């Protein structure tokens, strides 16, 4: 039996078990069950699909080598969030889509990194990671936040602003952000790849040499297997996302939740499940380099690629979306970026720093819950 299949049967038993929610969610939607039930079932169904999408991306990256593998991770790293965003945008839920962009950035910087530092710090007194990579990510994230802040500031500081002006500004900023993302790929995969050489997949106590030998022995059968898993998971996420988005408005209204809270808190929890699992898993194995890279890299991917892509795609499909975010969302993102940068600057982490990040996330979550519509 191939090693990959053995790993699937042992390590990923829980995520395989959760796949049963995919057909259940489909049946619930076809039988027109209560929107809240359909919403809950489809949300749970997306989680294992997201985990398998992430795992397949990691395995293919190991087989194809660091350059192509890094590019693949860059493209598929936040595929779940992008798919859910595209489906919601197509459905006209622009406010929820915009809130989910800021929510994903906040959750990656505070929740994912906080959980990683807390759980890793409970096992190891102090953990270290590459401070240079964290500084570069922090600087790039600051640029992305500046781009997100600008449209809101234009409106706030002007008496009258034409919608066409905000739309044109958003398109210009979106193009710039995509170009910057291209340069970050060149930096991380080519000119300064050594800064990001933290491994893509966990090595279960195996040495780098043994892992490379095993990879050479199984690369051919593994590649076809994981490509198939990648395609099936992507199609599955797209299909279940239609069900999820179709029920999200009615379900959250029934729960008394605002579109702002739904987008900022609930959607990132569903779409970012893979990041949580990966970052926490490697942090517990004392690989904080990879944990921090996952948390900050995912935030960058959303800010520099997912958000501008949604702006441009929205124009094409007739659902225009700009980068004029709610001012409170902008403030929350700034807080998340500043705190994450301050904590990651020294290249060291402990459980208390993780707790501080989680406490900040909890406070922001409560503020979004009580924020009036």
Q: What is the residue-level pLDDT of the chain in tens, covering all 373 positions?
A: 444 444 454 456 777 888 899 999 999 999 889 888 999 999 999 988 888 888 888 788 777 765 666 567 667 767 888 899 999 999 888 888 999 999 999 999 999 999 999 999 999 989 988 887 778 888 888 888 888 788 878 877 777 778 788 888 889 999 999 998 888 888 877 787 666 665 444 444 444 444 455 445 444 436 888 889 889 999 999 999 999 988 888 888 888 888 889 889 988 888 887 778 888 888 998 888 888 888 888 888 888 889 999 999 998 998 888 888 888 888 899 999 999 888 888 889 999 999 999 999 999 999 999 987 6
Helix (H, G, I), strand (E, B), or coil: what is residue 127? strand
CB 37 within 8 A of CB 28: yes
Phi/psi for 127 (5° steps) reads -120, 150
Q: To 10 degrees, the CA torsion angle through 78, 80, 83, 86? A: -70
Question: Distance between CA 63 and CA 220 in Å, rounded?
Answer: 8
Q: How far is CA 325 from CA 145, 146, 307, 318, 330, in A?
A: 11, 12, 11, 19, 7
Return the structure tokens found at 42: 């489809």
Residue 352 CB neighbour total at 10 angstroms? 11
Give CA 114 to chain center in angstroms: 15
What's the length of the chain?
373
As a whole number of Å, the CA-based R_g of the chain is 20
Query: What is the longest distance spanned by two Cα atoms in the chain?
Result: 69
Question: Distance between CA 181 and CA 200 in Å, rounded?
Answer: 20
Question: Distance between CA 1 and CA 9 in Å, rounded?
Answer: 11
Question: Distance between CA 113 and CA 111 in Å, rounded?
Answer: 6
Gap between the terminal Cα atoms of the chain: 56
């Amino acid at each position: 039996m191939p090693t990959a299949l053995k790993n699937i049967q042992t390590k990923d038993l829980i995520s395989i078990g959760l796949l049963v929610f995919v057909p259940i969610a489909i049946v619930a939607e076809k039988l027109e069950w209560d929107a809240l039930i359909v919403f809950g079932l489809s949300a749970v169904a997306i989680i294992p699909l997201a985990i398998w999408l992430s795992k397949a991306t990691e395995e293919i990256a190991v087989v194809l080598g660091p350059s192509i593998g890094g590019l693949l991770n860059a493209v598929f790293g936040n595929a779940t969030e992008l798919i859910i965003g595209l489906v919601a945008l197509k459905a006209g839920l622009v406010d929820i889509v915009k809130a989910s962009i800021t929510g994903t950035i906040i959750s990656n910087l505070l929740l994912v990194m906080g959980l990683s530092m807390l759980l890793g710090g409970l096992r190891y007194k102090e953990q270290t990671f590459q401070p240079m990579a964290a500084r570069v990510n922090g600087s790039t994230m600051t640029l992305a936040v500046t781009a997100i802040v600008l449209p809101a500031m234009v409106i706030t500081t002007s008496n009258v602003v034409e919608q066409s002006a905000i739309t044109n500004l958003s398109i210009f900023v979106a193009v710039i952000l995509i170009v910057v993302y291209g340069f970050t790929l060149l930096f991380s995969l080519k000119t300064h790849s050594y800064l990001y050489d933290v491994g893509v997949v966990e090595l279960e106590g195996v040495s780098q040499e043994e892992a490379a030998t095993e990879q050479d022995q199984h690369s051919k059968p593994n590649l076809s297997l994981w490509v198939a898993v990648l395609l099936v998971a992507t199609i599955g996420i797209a299909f279940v996302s239609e069900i999820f988005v179709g029920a999200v408005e009615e379900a959250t209204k029934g729960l008394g939740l605002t579109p702002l809270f739904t987008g900022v808190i609930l959607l990132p929890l569903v779409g970012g499940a893979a990041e949580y699992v990966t970052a926490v898993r490697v942090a517990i194995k004392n690989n904080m380099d990879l944990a921090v890279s996952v948390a900050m890299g995912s935030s960058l991917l959303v800010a520099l690629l997912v958000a501008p892509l949604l702006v441009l795609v929205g124009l094409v499909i007739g659902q225009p979306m700009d980068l004029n975010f709610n001012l409170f969302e902008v403030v929350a993102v700034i807080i998340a970026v500043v705190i994450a940068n301050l904590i990651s600057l020294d290249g060291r982490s402990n459980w208390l720093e993780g707790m501080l990040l989680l406490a900040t996330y909890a406070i922001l979550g409560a503020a979004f819950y009580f924020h009036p519509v």
